[in-house]
Structure 1
Amino acid sequence: MKLRRDIFSFRNRVVVIIVGVVLGGISLLYTNNMAQQLKEKEQHDVALWAHAMERVNREVLSGKLQVQDPLVEDLISNNNNIPFIITNQNLEVVNYSHLIPEEIIDHPDKLRRQIEKFTEENTPRTVRFWWRPDNNYYHIIFYGKSALLKSLYYFPYIQLLVIAAFITLGFIAFRSSKHDEQNRVWIGLAKETAHQLGTPTSSLLGWIEYLRAQNVDQTAVDEMQKDLAHLMKIVDRFSKIGSETPLTPANINEVVGESVMYFRKRIPRNVTLEYNGLAIAPVQANINSALFEWVVENLMKNSLDALQGHGTIDVKISSDDRNVMIDVRDTGKGIPKSNWKRIFEPGFTTKTRGWGLGLSLSRRIVEEYHQGKIFVVDSEIGKGTTIRVLLKRTFAG
């Protein structure tokens, strides 16, 4: 069922992408077509303007035009949306549009570049004065694109950027809501697990008290008591997931040491667990002890799985003026460098059994609850791995 949902989800995403591309392509083609039509209209307007200029000059020079023709005057004077420069045959400016800054007209190099730009945009129009005695005299109209035409050319790209931005924001919002929903499910599951474990742990406490009153090996009962205490810690950890978790100053040596001591008695004989924390000066950090012990146990369990029954786990505490470092090193099979970050992703695992949640949960506890860092310091195939937890150090007041 999950596979089918994933397939449908993938198909839906593909359909949305295809529809978006098609709509974007249609918009681009339609707007480009409109821009081409507007360009042709502007070229036609300039051609009419050139003809009007020829007619006015011809009739003025011949004495036929005593009163300006309103239509011709309108064609000449109202062409104010297209930038242009008019020169004579020697490229000396005789007129120019108010859209052209004077600094361009007054600067020969800038003027030449502007004329070249207009020539690339539109073919210049020539206004000939063939009726003059010097029939080689003529004007050249260099003109460019109007602001409206430029806007039409750029509009599809702006539109596509806006659509892409909306799609991206929608995708982020969807991912965020889905992530929040998954978080609520996991938090609810964790709290329900803690609630369900409450009854059997209470019952086990009663059975241990009963066994203490019987003629049985009390050493075994003590170990059962330790396991039950550890189980109650696990119940407490599950109950804290999703809740506001207070952090208090704690001796990191002791907190890590308790996990190491418990773990040491429950590992295979061919595995050695070393710890330096009890032999160095105490270091302190703000932590939630119950959750932080969970991190240490997850790291040691991960190392134990990597050892496959024999080898060494070395838990080492060190510090500087600002930070406390807890390193868990093993002599196991190692991790490829391409997976150094992936091992902290939910669901990632190289084991045939397991959900791939231990290290991802550890990262969440360290980074979100304790504002620390957890990362692979070093790993080499066949030689082992070192994972470090970094916390901000505090000092006793």
Structure 2
Amino acid sequence: MKFKLRRNLFSFRNRVVVIVVGVSLGAVSLLYTNNMARKLREKEQHDVVLWAHAMERINRDVLGGSTPFQDPLVSDIMSTGNNIPFIITDQDLKVLHSHLIPDEIINHPGRLRKQIDRFTEENTPIPVKVLWSAEHYHIIFYGRSALLKSLYYFPYIQILVITAFVALGYVAFRSSKHDEQNRVWIGLAKETAHQLGTPTSSLLGWIEYLRSQDVDQTAVDEMQKDLAHLMKIVDRFSKIGSETPLTPANINEVVGESVMYFRKRIPRNVTLDYNGLAIAPVQANINAALFEWVVENLMKNALDALQGHGAIDVRISSDEQHVMVDVKDTGKGIPKGNWKLIFEPGFTTKTRGWGLGLSLSRRIIEEYHQGKIAVIDSEPGKGTTFRITLKRIFA
């Protein structure tokens, strides 16, 4: 047991280490990418400033009002190998030159204006003096290169990847932990069934012996019923974790058997009502042994909630598609915040018990029977109603 505990702790630490390492690598990568994007943006801004200076210098030697980007050297510097999109306009926003801007934008005033506004948001436009006219100037509007945009978007992609990595790690951790818990409970259930096999067989022999003695046979009959019920419990525990075949069954009769058994074993100040024998039969595919266990567990919880006095009402209802079994009590009730928590393994409000009854009930109904079990109504001090919902079948 100590070895297994240490191995589990080691496995847990390994998962934590993997997640921490993944997050750390992601954080380092994000910082590195952001730094690269910042440096590239500074370089591109510096390049555009150099273009502006080059244009102003050439202006000193240009006569007749020709534009400096018509100079072969400037044109080569600004276009060859350059992936920075830009638009050069005069002071009236008339396009004088552009690079990496589609013609359908340049030739459409509305789209051109939107493109200029977009460039202005990305980078501050740079004015270029026109030396032959103090009233005229050119403006360079420029955006981000494709590489710079990729670097800007890349951190968001990394965040998504890291988030997915952490989520998958968490799911894998929860799944492995859940599977390990399932193996423990399945093993415990089968071992319990195995251990109970010997005393139940012995009790069968003692009951047969008592039948041959001069004792009250009514008491022996009740003992026989309790033993039969105990053998059902052993059978249920042995089925946990195994393939569970479902067969068509009369829900009224199956629930009725559990109610009749409980009715003789509840305190005098508790009443147990059942409508199933007074309505038309309804059918569903169930494993009778496991389904009975769920119904009995709900009635046992209701009995515990009553604390010796009150009422339990078991009712069957149906529609065209479903069969509903309600177990209602007038007990202490459940706060609404605990309606879902009570089905979690280990959750209990009792001073004794492991808090597994409702957890196993949910598993039997939802995983084995493809149905639902839930609290549909409860109020502290007034009682609780549990509902089992199964798919109805027709004979």
The TM-score with structure 1 as length reference comes to 0.89
Distance 1:246 1:6 in 2: 34
Say yes or no: does 1:215 pair with 2:214. yes
User: What is the aligned partner in structure 2 of residue 74 from structure 1?
Assistant: 76
Q: How far has the Cα of 1:138 moved from its partner?
A: 3.2
Q: How far has the Cα of 1:330 moved from its partner?
A: 0.9
Say yes or no: does 1:378 pair with 2:377. yes
Say yes or no: does 1:305 pair with 2:304. yes
The one-character-per-residue Cα deviations of 1:24-79 (angstroms, maximum 9, x if unpaired) are 554444333222221221122122323334455554649xxxxx998655313315
Distance 2:80 2:141 in 1: 17
Q: 1:174 to 1:227 in 2, by over 3 A?
A: same
Distance 2:320 2:20 in 1: 56
SS at match of 2:229: helix
Say yes or no: does 1:36 pair with 2:52. no
8 Å Cα contact 1:330/1:386 also seen in 2:
yes
Distance 2:361 2:42 in 1: 67
Structure 2 portions without partners, runs of 5+: 65-69
User: What is the aligned partner in structure 1 of residue 246 from structure 2?
Assistant: 247
Amino acid at match of 1:228: L
User: What is the aligned partner in structure 1 of residue 160 from structure 2?
Assistant: 161
The one-character-per-residue Cα deviations of 1:91-123 (angstroms, maximum 9, x if unpaired) are 1101111x2222322232332232222223223
8 Å Cα contact 2:316/2:323 also seen in 1:
yes
Superposition map of 1:94-133 within 5 A: 94-97=96-99, 99-130=100-131, 132=132
The one-character-per-residue Cα deviations of 1:213-266 (angstroms, maximum 9, x if unpaired) are 112111111111111111110010011111111111111111111111111111
8 Å Cα contact 2:376/2:385 also seen in 1:
yes
Structure 1 portions without partners, runs of 5+: 63-67
User: What is the aligned partner in structure 2 of residue 91 from structure 1?
Assistant: 93
Amino acid at match of 1:119: T
The one-character-per-residue Cα deviations of 1:327-364 (angstroms, maximum 9, x if unpaired) are 11111111111112222221111111111111111111
SS at match of 2:183: helix
* RMSD across aligned positions (CA): 2.9
Distance 1:15 1:240 in 2: 38
8 Å Cα contact 1:323/1:391 also seen in 2:
yes
Q: How far has the Cα of 1:185 moved from its partner?
A: 1.5
Superposition map of 1:253-272 within 5 A: 253-272=252-271
Superposition map of 1:274-313 within 5 A: 274-313=273-312
Amino acid at match of 2:317: S
8 Å Cα contact 1:53/1:76 also seen in 2:
no
8 Å Cα contact 2:19/2:166 also seen in 1:
no
Q: 1:346 to 1:76 in 2, by over 3 A?
A: closer
The one-character-per-residue Cα deviations of 1:294-325 (angstroms, maximum 9, x if unpaired) are 01100100000010001111111122222211
Deviates more, 1:152-161 or 1:199-208: 152-161
Q: 1:229 to 1:178 in 2, by over 3 A?
A: same
Q: 1:322 to 1:89 in 2, by over 3 A?
A: closer
Say yes or no: does 1:197 pair with 2:200. no
The TM-score with structure 2 as length reference comes to 0.89
SS at match of 1:313: strand
Deviates more, 1:231-240 or 1:344-353: 344-353
Amino acid at match of 1:349: T
SS at match of 1:355: coil
8 Å Cα contact 1:52/1:76 also seen in 2:
no
Work out the percentage of aligned pairs sharing the same amino acid: 81
Aligned residues: 388
Q: 1:87 to 1:159 in 2, by over 3 A?
A: same
Distance 1:219 1:147 in 2: 91
SS at match of 2:311: strand
Deviates more, 1:148-157 or 1:48-57: 48-57
Q: How far has the Cα of 1:211 moved from its partner?
A: 1.2
8 Å Cα contact 1:307/1:332 also seen in 2:
yes
Q: 1:11 to 1:235 in 2, by over 3 A?
A: closer
Distance 2:316 2:273 in 1: 11
8 Å Cα contact 2:23/2:162 also seen in 1:
no
Q: How far has the Cα of 1:168 moved from its partner?
A: 0.7
SS at match of 1:347: coil
Distance 2:71 2:135 in 1: 27
Distance 1:259 1:73 in 2: 93
SS at match of 2:241: coil
